Amino acid sequence: MQNQIEHVINQLQQVKPDEYGDCVDQLNHVLAGFSKLPDKELAVPAMLALIERYPDADMGSPGPLVHEMEGIFGYEGHLEESLTRAPTALTCWMANRLLNAQQEGSRQRWLQALQRVANNPSAPQSAQAEAREFLRFQGAPG
């Protein structure tokens, strides 16, 4: 029998954008009650994989995925891996949110992650452009 977090992970793997490229309603449904579940951190890779699978889908602004991930201790390492593996505009946006909220000690980590995306010729143009914009906003070279 599947536990609750495995059920959420399976549901995340089945989410697909609708004909308008929107996932928000589906994500709200899948993630209803998620914040109260134990072992939430186990879902972070599936959450990021969904963003990577559909980099141009509307997942909210910031949306349920971002809100839920930001409440999970240790999601940052998974985010950094995602930015290296398959950067998207949304994951760049998440890194910028960390830059806006973080103390000086981790600032360099996220600036470097965005610089890698901005200079990665195999990254989607939307991710490169978003990374460059956030670097400009943060006053860092791109």
pLDDT digits (tens, 9 = 90+) for 39-81: 999 999 999 999 999 999 999 988 999 999 999 999 999 999 9
Per-residue pLDDT of 72-110, as tens digits, reads 999 999 999 999 999 999 999 999 999 998 667 788 999
- Phi and psi at residue 125, in whole multiples of 5°? -55, -40
Q: What is the pTM of this model?
A: 0.93
